[in-house]
Amino acid sequence: MKKRPFICLSEPHLEYDVIEPGCKPNVIPVPRKAVLFFDKTYDKKGAPLFKEGDRVKTGQKLILYADSEEYIISTVTGTISSVSPYAGDFGKFYTSVQIDVSEDEADDAFEKVSAEQSIETVRNYLSYLPGNLPIKSFLDPGNKIDTIVITGVDSDLLVVTSQYIVNSKMEHIIKGIKILRSIPGINNIVLAVRRDSLHGYGNIGAEVKNISTRYPSAFRQLVIKESLGREVPAGKKPEDIGTCVINAEAVASLGAAFLNNRIPTDKIITLINKDGAGKLVSARMGTPIGDILKALNITLNHGDRLILGGPMAGSPVYSEDYPVLPDTDAIMVQDKNYIQPFSDYPCINCGDCIRICPANIPVNMLIRYLEAKMYQQAADEYDLYSCIECGLCSYVCVSRMPISQYIRLAKYELAGINTAEAANA
């Protein structure tokens, strides 16, 4: 893949990257220790259904508590060495399950039922797939989903994971589309791809729509608008307008599960190195990021930064032990010398952020309210919830204000306030 500097203010606009023809992923060895995350707070009193010392097989379903339907799939074979709470960003809590890995042995529970190819089988076994299949979204009858948009485009710059999947796994995607078509109520499935790759798909069971190659057109709200002509209202989710957005990799994984009678466990990731050059890797989900860096001979020095995602909308992680998760599409290693520090300079009202904002938000006003922690007013009067978190305002801000960080914090704080109010009502 080509390399380019992260910040290039001379570019009139930012174009998404194109995957090089024939680009293939480097296969990362299975780790000696794997870490899996439950998207659920660990509660010892809740008597987890598994414990340290238990043996697990590759593809085995792990349910945390007896009264919960939520599960993850063990991506390795081995012995559970710890089950503990893990604090993520913005007050999110997970349960971390560490496994000492031994030689792969396949669990056969899915194989026994995979001939059925029913929605129940999808619900019961396939919620922890590479690409993060949003089962709750499209199988919850309350959402009344009639349209599925499959994104074959990557939302951040330098990332080409979805392009690779569309180019190399079309047979799996077609099978996945067939399964999705059998969900009651689904009458429209669209595959969104780059404008310049809109050819040669044939009959895949979905309408192929093109998406602009200009950043941030691959963000889900903009993909929905460009491919369906539907708007997601501010503060609402795609599900609120009957639409579910699914990554191409999740659809390919769904198809591969039924074609191979085995739950896929390997994730495709774009690894962006310190010089901006990208590489595709294939890693077992649960592999610590540090193992991937080691396999590629990438050294992290004091002051370098690890980012999950791409340069515009990614989030920092603070430990090389953080694992590859179903939605880990990209990992970026930023050299300390390329990190543009934020400043505490005030806004000088230059208006650059307003001109570049794809949601037409008066960002210069919004930032004043966010700095003063007036979050509700920011939402009511200055379109906080219209923000798609593309990071363009921070990118152009001459005062180097951490605008998108303020925006994420404000949304998190308001979500906490609204949850507390609902609980007390």
By CB under 6 A, name the binding residues for ligand SF4: 347-353, 356-359, 361, 363-364, 367, 387-393, 396-399, 401, 403-404, 407
Cβ proximity to ligand SF4: between 126 and 410 the closer is 410
- CB of 13: closest distance to ligand SF4 in angstroms? 13
Cβ proximity to ligand SF4: between 291 and 383 the closer is 383
Other C-beta atoms within 10 Å of 173: how many? Answer: 28
Query: Rounded to the nearest 5°, which phi and psi values hold at 43?
Result: -130, 105
Cβ proximity to ligand SF4: between 139 and 388 the closer is 388
Cα angle, residue 196 at apex, residues 190 and 199 outer, rounded to 5°: 60
- CB of 409: closest distance to ligand SF4 in angstroms? 13
Cβ proximity to ligand SF4: between 325 and 392 the closer is 392
- CB of 406: closest distance to ligand SF4 in angstroms? 10
Query: Rounded to the nearest 5°, which phi and psi values hold at 45?
Result: -70, -20
Please answer whether residues 403 and 367 qualify as being in contact, where contact means their C-beta atoms are separated by less than 8 angstroms.
yes
- CB of 393: closest distance to ligand SF4 in angstroms? 3
Please answer whether residues 346 and 399 qualify as being in contact, where contact means their C-beta atoms are separated by less than 8 angstroms.
yes
Cβ proximity to ligand SF4: between 177 and 367 the closer is 367
> CA–CA separation, 190 vs 188, rounded Å?
7
Tokens 């610590």 sit on residue? 288
- CB of 37: closest distance to ligand SF4 in angstroms? 27
- CB of 359: closest distance to ligand SF4 in angstroms? 4
- CB of 160: closest distance to ligand SF4 in angstroms? 22
Q: Write the CA distances from 188 to 134, 185, 227, integer angstroms.
A: 17, 9, 12
Cβ proximity to ligand SF4: between 319 and 343 the closer is 343
- CB of 97: closest distance to ligand SF4 in angstroms? 34
Cβ proximity to ligand SF4: between 99 and 357 the closer is 357
Q: Which two tokens stand for residue 352?
A: 């650059």
- CB of 313: closest distance to ligand SF4 in angstroms? 8
Q: Which two tokens stand for residue 389?
A: 């978190």
> CA–CA separation, 180 vs 187, rounded Å?
10
Q: Which two tokens stand for residue 339?
A: 């990190």
Sequence-distant (6+) residues with CB within 8 A of 137 are: 143, 145, 239, 244
Cβ proximity to ligand SF4: between 93 and 342 the closer is 342
Cβ proximity to ligand SF4: between 291 and 352 the closer is 352
